[in-house]
Structures are given as structure tokens and as C-alpha cells.
Amino acid sequence: MDIYGSGADGWRHPASYRTSTRQVLAALNSASGPLSRNNLQEATGLYDRERFVREHFKPLLAAGLIKMTLPDKPTSSKQKYRLTVKGKKLLERLSPKDSKK
């Protein structure tokens, strides 16, 4: 089973990088600083916490596209997340070409 699909940009992206995953990356990219998980959910309009964590949050962390601000305290109530360089590059590839004008 091929989990990759060809994007309009010619790159092959995992099928899991759906529009809502792009929204999470874009929210982190446009934020003035790191965001909490809850703030990310609010910014993207994805309100089902369990589904958000399972389908977007954990895969993005595991892929190294987002990172914790407090990696030594993963369950801290003060934990926030920011986009990595790898995440920024992927977001650029996933974004429509017109949005770069």
C-alpha cells in the first residue's frame, strides 16, 4: 500500500499531511511565538482533542516537524510548541504557489 501521493508541486507527501495538518503547521508559522496544544487547536478549528492529538499532533512531533519548548518536561502545563526548520520547509512545499506573492 502506497501511503504517499503526488502533490501539485511534484513532491511526494504522506497522505497524512491533509489540509488540517497544513493548518497546524501554518498556525505555528504565523504565530508570534510558540503555542500550546490548546491554542493550536483553537487556531485551526480542530476541537476534538483526542483526534487532534492522534491524527496531527503526535505525527508532527514524531516526524520532527514541530518541537517542544520544554523537551525535558513533556507533560508540563507550560509546554508549548514551535515549528522546526524541517516543518517550515514542508509547509513551503505544501503551500499553494499563489500565497507566496
Total Cβ atoms within 10 A of residue 90:
21
With bands split at pLDDT 50, 70 and 90, how would you rate the model's confidence at 19? low
Q: What is the mean pLDDT of residues 73-84?
A: 94
CA distance 12 to 81: 26
CA distance 50 to 45: 14
Contact 45, 38 (CB under 8 A): no
CA distance 96 to 33: 24
With bands split at pLDDT 50, 70 and 90, how would you rate the model's confidence at 2? very low
At residue 28, the pLDDT reads 86
pLDDT at 21 over 70: yes
- Residue 79 in domain: yes
Q: What is the mean pLDDT of residues 4-25?
A: 58
Q: How many domains does the chain have?
A: 1
pLDDT at 100 over 80: no
- Residue 99 in domain: no
Strands 4-6 and 12-14: antiparallel
Query: What CATH number did the domain enclosing 44 receive?
Result: 1.10.10.10
At residue 3, the pLDDT reads 37
